[in-house]
Amino acid sequence: MSFVATQSLGVANAKTDKINASDSFAGDLTFHIRGTFTGTITFYAMIDPEVVDGDRVAIDVENLNDGVKATTTTVVGLFRAVAAGLHVQLEMTTYGSGTALVDVLPSVG
């Protein structure tokens, strides 16, 4: 399993691997999840990234394909997180097989 992301978010190769997006973005973050995989990706946000996983909470993201809001996904597509001032983290919380590719696009305003 791997994550490949723009903005040098990182690479994950198994369950519990994570990628992070910086709080330097001024608005929403749009994630494009693609590839062929079985597993669950959970979206988290935190204010202080120095506290490792200690203050993170699962956040709703909007699936731009169907308008559904949820804290996890098992499908490919476009997902928008309201993220101004937050550090956002995606974690592969369950993993079966394959590769998920993740690109991020910041929105400013």
What does the domain layout of the chain look like in residue ranges?
6-106
Alpha helices in the chain, H assignment, sequence order? none
What is the phi/psi pair of residue 27, to 5°? -140, -140
Instruction: Tell me the pTM.
Output: 0.79
Q: Which of 56, 24, 40 lies closest to 91, judged by CA?
A: 40
Burial (Cβ within 10 Å: 0-12, 13-18, ≥19) of residue 24? exposed
- pLDDT of 96 > 90? The answer is no
Distances 78 to 51, 56, 99 between C-alpha atoms, Å: 29, 22, 16
User: What is the enclosing helix (H) or strand (E) of 97?
Assistant: strand 87-106
Is 6-106 assigned to CATH 2.60.120?
Answer: yes
Q: 20-50 pLDDT, tens per residue?
A: 665 555 578 888 888 888 889 999 988 876 7
pLDDT of residue 95: 86
Hey, is 57 helix, strand or coil?
Answer: strand
